Chains A and B, each alone.
Chain A
Amino acid sequence: MLFILKKIAYVLAVVLLNTYICAYLGAKLSARMELRRGYRLTRIGGIGFPAVRALSCLSKGSAAGFWSYMVFIFSIIIWGVVPFTAELILMDMGANLLVALILLLITVALNVTGAEGTGYGIVEGRIIRKTVSVLSLTIPYYISIASLVLAGRTLNLKEMVDFQRDYWNIVYQPLGFVTAIFSVIMILKVLGLNREGKQGLSGINRREGPGPAVAFFRFSGYSVVLFMTYLITILYLGGYKNLYFVRGDVMLGIKFYVLFIFILFAEKALGSSMTEAGILMRVSGKFLIPMSIINLAITLGFFIYRNIYGFI
């Protein structure tokens, strides 16, 4: 019993600490890229600002609705099925990749539909269009992971990491890696995590009345993006394998943060907001989904070639 509580405490500590650091990095780096200074709420370069922001939202007192609690619970549960090192995993199942993907889909759908009510009246067409476009951005991500599953022939994340003993998966499937990263960048842009406080119609995007609901939705937005990045790190970049003399979890942290910072820069460099549903559908339909399908076709070709002809 104590053992399980210790594990839960470790996992929660790791998740919350990293979400805090990523929230801070997100705001600070995107401010510096525009030659602004970023938040300066506390003395030392504004390190305390995510905590201050979260606490000020939580203390404003209006009751959070049912949706926000569901989103919060789901966005914590998804971290329970992925391994952090070879021993640190909360729910050890056989096919935990499949479970993780399903939970991710549910969280994304809840986040987007719940956060999109304006306080002045619900614009229904807007909710439906945004949900459909965000879900259509997760399709290339899933297809890339499907081609990985085909190559590795396993649905267990630990076995996937062990499979990358000699070479990381990025060497085998570079196209899938690029597609997956691109869809994460687009989802980050659509969720708009770094543009709070800007004026405009995006300012009336969330429900009126600050309170715990705002904090929960923001947390779940970060959680979704970080989870997708973490999955990419595990599946394509070797996860928690040692690299010569560097320890496994330190290596995992370095890989994750390098990837996350690259995604932040690329999101800024993408320029204007592609949050309009027509452009999003065009980008995902003409560019991302064909790339991922080509990747799947190539993997399928190699799979058939290897199994039926017994080569390689």
Chain B
Amino acid sequence: MSNPNSADVVVIGAGVTGALLATRLAKTGKSVLLLESGPRMGRDQLVERFRSSAFKSDFMAPYPYSPLAPHPRYTPEPNGYLQQKGPHAFNAQYIRMFGGTSWHWAAQLWRYVPNDFRQHSLYGVGKDWPISYDDLEDYYYQAEVIAGVGGSPESGSPRKHPFPMERVPASWLQQRVTARLAPEFTVLDDSTGRNSRNYDGRPACCGNNNCMPLCPIDAQYHGGLAAQQAEDSGVQVITEAVVYRLEHDEKGRIAAVHYYDWNKVSHRITAQTFVLAANAIETPKLLLMSVSDKFPQGIANARDNVGRNLCDHPAIGVTFDVDEEIWPGRGPVSPCSIGQFRDGDFRAEHAPFRIDISNASQVASVTKEVLAEGYFGKRLEEQILFRAARRLSIKNALEQLPDRNNRVTLGDKKDELGLPVPALYWNVDDYVVKGTEKTRAAYDAIAARLGGTNIKHSKSGAFSNRQHITGTLSMGLDPATSVTDAWGRAHDHENLFMVGTGVMPTVGTCNVTLTAMALALRTADKIIEESRHA
């Protein structure tokens, strides 16, 4: 089939949110074209690449990389795709391919807590959302049904319907940690899109403990499934199509998109409606690149909000050896967490946070550690066995407040197609630092309850990224402080919508994908409703 040059709707980015929206639009009979800058690759090829990779702890290693649609890489050496301009490096990871970044994740699909939507009204910090939890509840559930989500009903996010999936049975680690931390700390099942029974033609988790970088049996939901479903629903997908410019007409409506194929041949596609779903860093980059006489600062950027308010969960971690064998590495890698610090009046003073307890195999990391300590021979084996059976690894998801200075801009370097790379400025404020102190105190209390030895906190003042990239396309009621309206529509362009985590004004204390999925379904319904009235 030859590629068309027009469609009712063009969606840019074949990740989970773009794919869900495209599927829903296609099911109403619209012609939908889904453009993806990266290549297409199946699960089996990715498994092969993972098996063959020498860098098993690099979750990006199995994923295809092309300088024609580059993304950040860090192993064996950082590729410098992101230009870091701030006091802290924002080491983003995302995947440019059919299915997008949720190919590699632990399928954490959380709802925000209701107060996250009213942060400024309740606590005097950050921002309120233009919508409430109740506005999103139904869409949260639709997204949960699509992905087969199970979790703890005590997560603090009220629900009208029970989870569509029963939770995967608790591993030994989860059982022991839950029992020993009670009652001071309440350990709850994570909300995840991971099958505990056959669901939607996919089998139950059988404990490969390989959720990241890749579930080898599709027991966990991911964007590759969503993108395939889009195609099966009649969406036309073009991969290796790098959109580099949005074109507008004299009224300011978006008229066309221009993309390069991987032979650097340019194509122009017109449509009635355009949806940007190209990640919270790449989408602002595209908007900033699309300058014209009428919009010299780029599309949707008349008031200089595109790319600003870049947020993630700046994370700190701790590892220690528990005084009993807990055997991490059996079952899902990320099964449970402590949610009691996610909300409360303290949010006026310091960042709220969730504490995530890892169940990933620790064999590789303790082996590295023991070798560095100089063990060899029989003692080496003993030490690996001893520590791998007892090692507990914990990190947090700590809420950073939106800050206009944290932002995505265009870098001065170019990629192989001649397109600018993203430049990032990222800092963390006192709100985060205070939250970090509270987290550390909780880590010490947890380690004490578990008889921890060999306690190692992550480096003080350093933060790792959790890849929950939000804020850069913020929704809001006031065009002076936001990029999109409550439906994800660009304030400045009536027929331009944005979905994905970038439209989320605040980052909350949970993984962000479910909220982005729910918002994308809601935006899809809005587009359908408006076209019915048109």
Bound pair: A and B? Answer: no
Interface residues of B (CB under 8 A from A): none
